[in-house]
Amino acid sequence: MLLKGVRVLDLSHTLAGPFATMVLADLGAEVIKVEPIHGDETRSWTPIVEGESAYFLSINRGKKSIAINLKHPKGREIVYRLATISDVLIENFRPGVPEKLGVDYKTIVRYNPKIVYCSIKGFKQGSIYESLPAYDLILQGLSGLMMSTGTENDPPIRVAFALFDVITGLLATTYILAALFANARPIHIEIPMYDTAIFSMCYIPMIYLLTKRTPKRMGSAHPSIVPYQAFRDSQGKWFIVAAANDRLWRQLCKALKIEYLAEDKEFKTNPDRVKNRDKLIELLQRIFLEKPRDYWIKILREYGVPAAPVYELDEVFSDPYVVSQNIVVFQNHKKLGRIPQLAQPGYFNGKRLMTSKAPPTLGEDSYDILRNIGYSDKDIENFKKEGVIL
């Protein structure tokens, strides 16, 4: 495993931080997840299967769990011991909370002057928005994303999963790995999620910045390319057509037996098609309503035009590619037995790297972790009695 020997002290919760540490665990790092006595808040997020949250299970494989009361001096002492033997610490507490708990960068670096300390925050610390909450829904609203999805008459539409948390988590892994590679220690990395949200939308805000025009809400369509969107078939199903350049446009015309439109002055070039978008899309949609989705996808692919079905989620996991590439893998969970997990998408010399350790139950590894840093069984029992650990 690429990160064998790297130890990560994970004080993060919810999604962005845990997603980052799951990726590091899959790459071989030892990740010690420090949870509050009541557990990461996502352990209570539905659906709950035999006492375990599907949400939590999706982002916490490969980690060891210890539940510690950080408000107790002995709880902080445990964290300091863990920090001294760790390479990375990642946290996403609200501003001011690390200082109150004594796990802020200035404190931790005294215990480990070679730490890579990564803070994920909703907004830059010290900024005018520092104290505002930064749930996914809030960031999707503030970034402009919710007013760039859907169509013009729709209410604001949220992307169905916490997109910016995931992107922030991926940036966190990138920045952490860069610091480890460069041996830039100690270092305090801070990643504001709002900045990440705007950054990750790339060309959508750039179109506005260059033209001063707010991009229209176009559903599945693209502001810069036509035709490049979903169409409905004769059975009410949807499929994608992505004629992303003039050559593909000509191939699309051949496939649909409308070659005369390929040289039509209203549609010949992509700028022409963007200008006359509504007229062209209406024309194509009338054609696509004549036959079912599978027919059109087969024909379009034969002519080299990028096309694909718009799946319901159950269809995703019966897709032959998804099945044949083992995108769903299984692990043995302490309580649930065999559970599904989504495989890491990357390959290293033809092989996926992925931890074999299932997501932990709360405090599952407390005894082993504490013994490994020098505490006796008696110490551990006393910690339990005093409410220091679960």
C-beta separation of 308 from 228 below 8 A: no
Task: Residue 218: name the closest of 157, 286, 141 by CA.
Answer: 157
The structure tokens listed for 265 are 């002055």
Q: What CA–CA distance (Å, rounded) separates 169 from 213?
A: 31
Task: Transcribe 139-166 into DSSP letters.
Answer: HHHHTSGGGTSSBTTSPP---SS-HHHH
Query: For this structure, is 233 an active site residue?
Result: no
The structure tokens listed for 174 are 């990138």
Candidates 40, 165, 195, 365; catalytic one: 165
**Enclosing H/E stretch for 190:** strand 187-192
Number of residues assigned to the chain: 390
**End-to-end alpha carbon distance in the chain:** 31
Q: Which residues contact 185 (CB under 8 A, 6 or more apart)?
A: 113, 114, 115, 116, 179
Q: What CA–CA distance (Å, rounded) separates 390 from 384?
A: 6
| Residues labelled catalytic | 165
